[in-house]
Every structure is written in structure tokens, then in C-alpha cells.
Amino acid sequence: MEQRLADGLKRCLGKSHGILGWERFIHSAVLAPLIKIDGELHLLFQKRTQGIRQGGEISFPGGLFDPVVDESLRMTALRECHEEMGIEPRMVHVVGELDPLVAPAGITVSCFVGLLEKKSLETMVVNPDEVESWFTLPLSFFQTTPPNVHHVRLMVEPHFDHPKKGRVTLLPAEELGLPPRYHKPWGGLTREVYLWPTAHGTLWGLTSELVKEIVGRLEKGGVLV
């Protein structure tokens, strides 16, 4: 009986490499496009069109997972790259995937690294509704230019003040009998933010975290020396 119980528990609680509560997050995917230019690996970036969400910021092509059209997050990354940059999926060789990044806003970002065919830059046509401009940076730039490191403070807010609705209570901690420390915002985790000044603007945020991870892995694996 005990062995049967143990076997049952192992089946239900076996080792997992996912993210707890995955179904409660909003999921997105980006493509980190690599291309060889003059014998050196570059990353392709876009600058978002002004007036849209995150307008003016530097990012990789990507967007939210659409369960109606996307069979996987990988498909999301390739679809969004095609829609935004005009690069057809057949011109992208996906060579890897980073571990999902959980953004403070409650969104997961799955980053797929893709090697582009040489002619993709010549044939791509960007969507001006989403992309203002594009550029590439050699990976050696990130190797020789350390990012500026700043910090933000993350708090958990059981309530907040809405400009029209007034005080909005999400968790009535006092009424629920929770300890006093939870009656007001708590937490205060300090998170590093990486910023690279470039000729095209400041590269920062989630994109900079992904770049740092990609370059670090390629250095560790001996692809970059």
C-alpha cells in the first residue's frame, strides 16, 4: 500500500522544469534574430513606432500568444517576426530557446534564437504601423561594452488609488484577519535593470536581459571568444 501511494505521488508530483501557475500568466514570445555580417554575428533589433504600446523602445520582434492561430510559442515568435519585420519563417533557422522569463507585470516571455539567411535583410519589408526602424549590433559590442546597471523596487499592493474610482481594494487583508504587515504594500525586492546606450537609443528592459543571457551562453559555449 505504501509503495503504491509513493508511486502515485511521484506520478503527480514528479520533477518539473516549468513555471508554477503557468496558466495564470499572459504568454508572449519573441525572436532574437542572429545574422552574420562581414564574418561577425549580429543581433537584429527593431525600434517600435511612436504612439503604440512601448513606442520608441528597442526590442526584438514578438508579441502575445494567440491560441486561435498559434500552435506554439515558437510559432508566435515566427509569426510576429513576419508581421513586423517581413521576414518569412522559412528564412529563419531556430537554433535554441531560452528559459521563460517572467516579467514583473505578470507576463511570460519565451525567447527563441533564430539564425537568419543572409538575404533576409535585403528582402524584408517592415510594417510601419509597428516598426519605426531597424538596425543590427555585433555581439562583440555587448562583449566589450558592459551595460549600465540600475535598479527598480518591486512591491505587492493589496490596494491602490484609482484616478476616478478612488481607493480600489484587491486584497482586504485587515478584514481577512491577515497580519498587519499585509494591510499595506509589502515586498520591496530590488531588481537589476541593464541599459546599453547605443547610437539608436537606449537598449534596456526585458530585451537587455535576453541579450545578456544570449551573449553569456554563447561565450560559455565557446561560440564567442
Rounded Cα distance, 110 and 100, in Å: 5
Instruction: Report if residue 9 sits inside a domain.
Output: no
Helix, strand, or coil here: 169? strand
Rounded Cα distance, 48 and 51, in Å: 9
113 against 104, higher pLDDT: 113
Look up the CATH number of the domain holding residue 210: 3.90.79.10
Q: What is the predicted pLDDT for the residue at 6?
A: 82
**Is residue 42 over pLDDT 90?**
yes
Q: What's the number of domains the chain is made of? A: 1
User: pLDDT band at 1, cuts 50/70/90?
Assistant: low
Instruction: Report if residue 13 sits inside a domain.
Output: no
Structural domain of 195: 20-220
Instruction: Report if residue 54 sits inside a domain.
Output: yes
Instruction: Report if residue 182 sits inside a domain.
Output: yes
**Is residue 106 over pLDDT 90?**
no
Instruction: Report if residue 171 sits inside a domain.
Output: yes
User: pLDDT band at 5, cuts 50/70/90?
Assistant: confident
* pLDDT tens track for 142-178: 999 999 999 999 999 999 999 999 999 999 999 999 9
Alpha-helix residue ranges (DSSP H) falling in the chain? 2-13, 73-85, 120-123, 139-144, 205-220
Instruction: Report if residue 163 sits inside a domain.
Output: yes
CB within 8 Å of 220: residues ≥ 6 apart = none
